[in-house]
Homo-oligomer: A and B are copies of this chain.
């Protein structure tokens, strides 16, 4: 819809009315500071410490919680693979083997496609729209209810990578035909869409992407964006870098906590977790928006070919994405309940952004 058509659809929908209530579970008890317990929690993460923004965000969260509690509540982030593999953080937190984790919910869409909403969906919400949905549009309440009943876990948004890039290819990709049979590392629903477009989707942990791409075991891969992709050396294994990352417009990462452990925490510690998670949600996106520009300059200067996906590929991906969502909604009531609410919110926040901020960005891009 063009913003000039605003009037036509202006009567639509009723969502996002849970606005004033930013999702914050009420503390379960009140404690006097003097008798707070000393806790020492190990935290499973999905990140290698070399990814300094992702792992650094887990560390910054833990540091703030410690500082907020006079050092009494200590949380130690552990690299992916130490307490659990990168994509099994939810499992160990759910079972109670580990009290807390820092991960991306869409690693767990094998359990339910609902888990995609916690991170990002293809052609979904930008980082600011995702925050609007989670904190003011009822999204976090819906997801917390789902996590609690399904996994005995409570989760809080705790970082966002900002918009991701469209991945690395060993050869040029101009059409949907060029995608046929390509082996690509891409997780989540982005992988489902690529699969529907004829790609052979591979699941490979971050640490193994470079070698797979360099040896030609895979033809393409996506990771995060210029800064992290450069750290993995992906530019040395593939020459073509595509934008935009249509499958991840604004992915959230999150703190997950075993619900029994959460319920045992004094109110101050529950508050420390929520405040620190909220704070790093801002600072992580800020870091990525800051460092990605510099990294993209370096990549282009060292020979990476930067290209936009063709309109043919974008259109085909968009159609397939919504076909997949509709099909899933028709067979999975849990997915449908959140998808329907999310679609109404998405339409409204897009209209607002397209009317105002986007028209200013259009002007600024045309007049630099």
Contacts and interface: CB of A to CB of B under 8 A. Distances in A.
Contact of A275 (B20, B165, B267, B275): B275
B34 A352 contact: no
Given A275-B276, A279-B274, A297 B11 contact: yes
A339 interface: no
A177 interface: no
A179 B296 CA distance: 42
Residue from A17, A294, A352 with most neighbouring chain B CB atoms (10 Å):
A352
A349 B289 contact: yes
A289 B132 contact: yes
A363 B314 contact: yes
A209 B285 CA distance: 36
Contacts of A164: 356
A299 to B, nearest CB: 9
A279 B347 CA distance: 26
Nearest to A17: B294
B360 A246 contact: yes
A133 B282 CA distance: 12
Contact of A285 (B128, B250, B267, B365): B128
Contacts of A129: 289
Nearest to A286: B135
A335 to B, nearest CB: 22
A167 to B, nearest CB: 12
B36 A33 contact: yes
Given A7-B300, A297-B12, A361-B126, A33 B70 contact: yes
A285 B127 CA distance: 11
Nearest to A279: B278
Contacts of A163: 353, 356-357, 360
A284 to B, nearest CB: 9
Interface string A14-31: 001101101000010011
A7 B282 CA distance: 30
Contacts of A11: 297, 301
A352 B292 contact: yes
A246 B356 CA distance: 9
A137 B68 CA distance: 25
A328 interface: no
Contact of A356 (B32, B56, B244, B297): B244
Contacts of A132: 285-287, 289-290
A306 interface: yes
6 contacts: A22-B60, A69-B268, A132-B290, A272-B275, A296-B352, A354-B361
Given A22-B287, A33-B34, A289-B349, 11 more contacts: A6-B296, A31-B70, A128-B285, A129-B289, A132-B287, A277-B279, A282-B282, A296-B351, A308-B359, A318-B367, A354-B365
Interface of A: 1-3, 6-7, 10-12, 16-17, 19-20, 22, 27, 30-34, 36, 52, 56, 60, 64, 67-72, 123, 126-129, 131-137, 162-165, 225-226, 243-246, 249-250, 267-268, 271-272, 274-283, 285-287, 289-294, 296-297, 300-301, 306, 308, 311, 314-315, 318, 345, 347-365, 367-368
